[in-house]
Amino acid sequence: MRKLAILFACLLLTVPVWAGTQDKRNRKQLLQENELLQQRIADLEAQVAAFQADAAEREAIEAELSGENENKISSGMEDYVSTSTDTLLGQWYLHRQSRIPGREQYNMDSVHFTTNVPDSVLMQRLEAMNAFISLPYNETVKNYMILYSEKMPAKMGEMLGLSEYYMPIFEETFRRYNLPLELKYVAIIESALNPRAESRVGAKGMWQFMYKTGLNYGLRIDSFIDERMDPVRSVDAAARYFRDAYRIFGDWPMAISAYNCGSGNVNKAIKRAGGKRDFWSIYEYLPKETRGYVPAMVGAMYAFRYAKEYGLRPDPIAMPTYVDTFHIHQNLHMSQISEVLGIPLDDVRDLNPQYYKDIIPGASGDEILRLPFNYSSPFLEMQDSIYRYKADVLFAEKVQDGRENVNGRPVPTSTNSGQWVYYKVQSGDNLGKIAKKYKTTVKQLKTWNNLKGDMISVGQRLKVGKR
């Protein structure tokens, strides 16, 4: 509106003042001036229409950016509840986080870390990073630089190890959208690179999308799939979010802050700061959880860049170096892949965390399966066998009386006839969980399997009923 008022003022200054004076110009001159004035009015109307269209588009983008992120909690040092701890990587996360020194919740608004590294060296290193997204060196930034480089070495080793697999995926995506590669460090602050991370308010995945925001950016969330936990799909959505946020705010630190707390909260901070639109001007008006968000990102960037100087080394992780991608057009269970190819079920799950029920619902559309490269040829050669393997058991339908259906016929649960149905015990299983899954009782499971107690072991085959 301010630009619009300026345009009108400029136009008025160009209008000839005829009132109170005798115009001695001839008719031809007046017609020429009138034509020129009409052209200027037409140009002004076109500019007004363009401003209005741009404003409407910005409002639509801001509404999409906000989503549920207004209620999203900053998760930089937050303990997570994993949506699945059944996989090797899930157990690894849980185990690592339970024993990480320096995992304490620091109050970064009041803590003041000290270091043996002189300020002059820290400033020189920060400048030498030549990052596209940077902040001036001050006590807040310094605190986060020390936090990530010196106060949490075990956690940094874990994240450095995971970054060897995930960061190339992020970089490829940000290059495709012509965005700063430094944005990849946002995932460090959001989730510590845990694809199954879930905050206490429901944000999920490495990029911590809230439910509505994830849907707004095209992520599929249904009974079988949650693409917020897909490393590839979620970073693509994050890239589009960053692109939209930068268009609104024109400043990367502010766009990154909007990713954490929503554009609405950033706009409120701008208003409270008297309209100033730089990060440090709005810093004190941002939600408490968001103030340290961008400085934390700079701290993580610094620690990753100078890891060797601090003796930080990447931990070995159970992720393959090379991965192949397949398009699936039939329903496929991860157990079929695992048991036919001999690939650990945990490995299949870790590469495909978006399928949280172990089922790839290819019958409803084109779905992606990722496998270690060395299993690519066997998968292609044995596809028919894989799809047929235990299909009648693994894709049994539920019927009203609680029993299971195989090809339209209920599965009997008595021991009098039919073949036994077996179940292979997975990590995290117990008898109660298995009994609930197969609509039976713990007592019955013990009877069928001659169990004296409640102890079962991973890999053990249990009778769970007959068909």
**What tens digit of pLDDT does each residue of 304-344 get?**
999 999 999 999 887 787 889 999 999 999 999 999 999 99
Q: Which two tokens stand for residue 411?
A: 């599965």
Rounded CA gap, 304 and 299, in Å? 9
Rounded CA gap, 144 and 25, in Å? 73
Rounded CA gap, 404 and 466, in Å? 11
> According to DSSP H, which parts of 67-102 are helical?
88-98
Residue 467: the pLDDT is 64
CB count in 10 Å sphere of residue 45:
10
User: Residue length, the chain?
Assistant: 467
Q: Which residues contact 83 (CB under 8 A, 6 or more apart)?
A: 196, 198, 204, 226, 229, 356
Rounded CA gap, 386 and 333, in Å? 9
Contact indicator for 158, 55 with CB cutoff of 8 Å: no
CATH no., domain 72-310: 1.10.530.10
CA-CA distances (angstroms) from residue 217 to 165, 290, 365?
24, 22, 19
Rounded CA gap, 88 and 92, in Å? 6
Q: Which residues, listed in sequence order, are joined to residue 370 by a DSSP beta bridge?
A: 325
Rounded CA gap, 11 and 4, in Å? 11
Same fold, 72-310 and 397-466: no
Residue 338: the pLDDT is 94
Encode burial over 214-228: b for 16+ CB neighbours within 10 A, e otherwise: bbbbebbbeebbbbb
Which of 217, 294, 223, 229 is closest to 83 using CA atoms? 229
Query: Any idea where the domains of the chain sit in the sequence?
Result: 2-14+27-66, 72-310, 323-394, 397-466
Q: Which residues contact 421 (CB under 8 A, 6 or more apart)?
A: 393, 411, 438, 463, 464, 465, 466, 467
Beta strand ranges found along 187-298 (DSSP E): none
The CA dihedral of 252, 258, 261, 262, to the nearest 10 degrees, is: 180
Sign for the pseudo-dihedral over CA of 231, 234, 238, 244: positive
Residue 18: the pLDDT is 45
Rounded CA gap, 245 and 65, in Å? 7
Which of 289, 301, 294 is closest to 278 using CA atoms? 294
Encode burial over 146-183: b for 16+ CB neighbours within 10 A, e otherwise: bbbbbbbbbbbbbbbbbbebbbeebeebbeeeebebbb
Q: Which tens digits make up the pLDDT trace of 140-165? A: 999 999 999 999 999 999 999 999 99
Beta strand ranges found along 212-330 (DSSP E): 323-328
Q: For residue 389, what is the DSSP state?
A: T
Rounded CA gap, 224 and 353, in Å? 11
Q: Which residues contact 136 (CB under 8 A, 6 or more apart)?
A: 280
Rounded CA gap, 303 and 285, in Å? 28
Rounded CA gap, 132 and 118, in Å? 24
What topology is assigned to 397-466 in CATH? Membrane-bound Lytic Murein Transglycosylase D; Chain A (3.10.350)
Residue 405: the pLDDT is 42
Q: Which tens digits make up the pLDDT trace of 177-236? A: 999 999 999 999 999 999 999 888 889 999 999 988 899 899 999 889 999 999 999 999
Q: pLDDT in tens for each of the 467 residues of the chain?
A: 555 555 545 544 444 544 444 455 687 787 888 888 888 887 777 777 666 655 555 555 555 555 555 556 444 434 444 343 333 344 334 333 333 333 345 677 778 899 999 999 999 999 999 888 878 899 999 999 999 999 999 999 999 999 999 999 999 999 999 999 999 999 999 999 999 998 888 899 999 999 888 998 999 998 899 999 999 999 999 999 999 999 999 899 999 999 988 888 999 999 999 999 889 899 999 988 888 899 999 999 999 999 999 999 999 887 787 889 999 999 999 999 999 999 999 899 999 999 988 999 988 888 999 999 999 999 999 999 999 998 888 887 543 333 444 334 444 433 344 567 888 888 778 888 888 888 888 888 888 888 877 788 777 888 888 76
Which of 360, 331, 62 is closest to 220 using CA atoms? 360
